[in-house]
Amino acid sequence: MTRESESGFPIEPLYTELAPGLDERLGRPGEYPFTRGVYPSMYTGRPWTMRQYAGFGTAKESNERYRHLVAQGTGGLSVAFDLPTQMGYDSDDTISHGEVGKVGVAIDSLEDMRVLFDQIPLDKVSTSMTINAPAAVLLLMYQLVAEENGIPGSAITGTIQNDVLKEYIARGTYIYPPAHSLRLITNIFEYCRTEIPKWNTISISGYHMAEAGASPTQEIAFTLADGIEYVRAAVASGQDVDDFAPRLAFFFVSRTTLLEEVAKFRAARRIWADVMKNEFGATDPKSQMLRFHTQTAGVQLTAQQPEVNLVRVAIQGLAAVLGGTQSLHTNSFDEAIALPTVKAATLALRTQQVLAYETDVTATVDPFAGSYVVEAMTDEVEKAARELMAQVEELGGAVAAIEKGFQKSEIEKSAYGIALGIDSGERIVVGLNKFQAAQEERYEPLRVDPQIEQDQRARLTELRATRDQAAVDAALDAMKKAAVGNDPHADNVLYPMKNALRALATVGEVCGALREVWGVYTPQEFF
C-alpha cells in the first residue's frame, strides 16, 4: 500500500534503479544477499517487534512491570535476570549475597517462573531472555510454565540469548569451559527443533562487545565469527545446517552515530548471507538471513542531565529502524542512574511508538539505499569486518582466538581510545564534558529492597522442605549421566534437565550438577 507524504506526494513501498549496477549488487529486499532487509515488505506491512527489556527484584514485581508494558502496547517481553541467576547460583548461595534481585529478577525455581509469567498469554506474547550459561534451564522452565497453562511447546515463541562465546570475550557470566558450553548449545539446537520449533535458539550477541568498547566493525566481525563457530559445532554434532540455521538470531547495539550504524547492519546481513551460502552450503533462504534484535546503547547514556538520554535513545532507535532491525528495545532515560522507573520505561516504549506511527520511515523499505555515503560506508564496514574475521580464522577460529585473548585485547584497545577521546574533549558527550549544567536536578531512582534476598532464601528453604527430594536426586543423576555421554542425540541433557526442573530442582542445583561433570572455565591472563 502506497503512503503519501505530508505534502501529498506518494512514498513508494520500494525504490529500485538506484544506480547502474547497484541494484544487481545489492539485490532486492527479502532476497540474497539481504543487504536491503530480510523481508520483501519490511515495515510497510507491520512495524518491528517492540520488545522492552525489564526485570528486577522478585518475580512478582517483574510480573507487574510486564503486565504494565503489555497493556501499554509492547509486542514482546525481554527478561533481565539478576547476577546470581545469570551465573547459575541460587539466591541463598554465599556468593549471591548482596546481588539478589539487583540487576534483574531473581529466579531460583519453577515456582518463581510461574509467578513471573502469571496472567501473561505465552501463546500470544513473544519472550526474549537475556541468559547465557544457564539458558537451557530458564528455557525449560518457561516451557514447563506454558505447558501447565495448556500451551504446547510448538505454540510458544521467543529467544534465549545462549551466546556463551561473547561471555568469554566481553561480559563474564560464563560457567563451563568452551567445549562443554558448545556441547550444551548444540543440545539446545537439537531439542528445540523437535520440542519448541518456533523458538530462536540463540541470539549471537555483539551488543555486550560494543558496551565493552568495541567499534562497529569489531562488533559485527567478532559476532559473526562466533556465529560461524556455533554453526560449525552444530554441523559437527551431526545436524544439517538447514535444520537449525533458520532459528539463529543476532543481537546488536545501536549508537548515536546514525549513518555508520545503518551501514553496519546492512554490511552484517551481506556478510552472513555469503558465509551461510558459500561456506556452509545453506540452501534455505531463512538459513542465509541475518535476523537481529537491537538495543539502544546503554554505554552512551549519562547520569548527568539524564533527560538528554531521551534524545540519544530516539536517535539510536531511528538508526536501528533505518538499518532494518526485527525487534527493538529502547533504553530508559534513567538507566545510567538505576533500574528504570515505570514512567521512564513507558517513555522508552513511547519512543518506539512515535517512530513507528508518527514518522514516515516505515513507509518504504531501506530508505537509505543508494545514498552515496551509506553505500560507501556499508562497503567500508564490510571490508574491515572481513579483515578482522580473517584474523580470527588465522588464529584457529573464534574459540582459539578467545583462548589467545585476541578479541578481548582488540576491544580493550578500542575502549581505551574512546576513553582518551572523552577525557581530552575531542569526543564530545553533551552534559558530561561539554554543555554541563551549573547545578544538576536531584533525581530519585528506583531502589531494590534488600529484604528481597531474605524472602528468596525463605522460599528456597520451604521449597526444599516440601518437594520430593528423591525425585530431584534421581533426575539430577540422570542429567549428569547424559552430560558424561558422547552420543549427541541419545545424551541430550535437556530431557533429564526438564525432569529435574519439573521435580523442583533449583537453578543452582542443576548448574552445580553440571559443574561437577564439566568443571568451570578459568580465564588465562594475557599481558
Does residue 146 fall inside a structural domain? yes
Nine-digit cell string for 353: 511508538
Would you say residue 479 lies in a domain? no
User: Could you tell me if residue 439 is inside a domain?
Assistant: no
The model scores a pTM over 0.75: yes
C-alpha cell recorded at residue 169:
570475550
C-alpha cell at 270: 551481506
Total count of domains within the chain: 1
Q: Is residue 498 part of a domain?
A: no
DSSP 3-state percent helix, strand, coil across the chain (nearest 5)? 50, 10, 40
In a domain, 336, yes or no: no
Length of the chain: 527
**Could you tell me if residue 24 is inside a domain?**
yes
Prior bond to 33 cis, omega within 30? yes
Give yes or no for a contact between 336 and 301, defined as CB atoms under 8 angstroms apart. yes
**10-11 and 3-4 strand pairing:** antiparallel
Residue 525 lies in a domain: no
CATH number at residue 244: 3.20.20.240
d(CA 226, CA 209): 12
Per-residue pLDDT of the chain (527 residues; tens, 9 = 90+): 677 766 676 878 887 766 667 777 788 999 999 999 999 999 999 999 998 888 888 999 999 999 998 899 887 888 999 999 999 999 999 999 999 999 999 999 999 999 999 999 999 999 999 999 999 999 999 999 999 999 999 999 999 999 999 999 998 999 999 999 999 999 999 999 999 999 999 999 999 999 999 999 999 999 999 999 999 999 999 999 999 999 999 999 999 999 999 999 999 999 999 999 999 999 999 999 999 999 999 999 999 999 999 999 999 999 999 999 999 999 999 999 988 888 999 999 999 999 999 999 999 999 999 898 899 999 999 999 999 999 999 999 999 999 999 999 999 999 999 999 999 999 999 999 999 998 877 777 777 788 999 999 999 999 999 999 999 999 999 999 999 987 767 799 999 999 999 999 999 999 999 999 999 998 876 44
Q: What is the pLDDT, as a whole number, of residue 8?
A: 75
SS3 295: strand
Asked if residue 117 lies in contact with residue 165, where contact means CB atoms within 8 angstroms, the answer is no
Which residue range is the domain that position 192 belongs to? Answer: 3-330+368-424
Check residue 58 and report its DSSP letter.
S
The Cα–Cα gap between 17 and 381 comes to 23
- Quote the pLDDT of residue 10: 82
In a domain, 487, yes or no: no
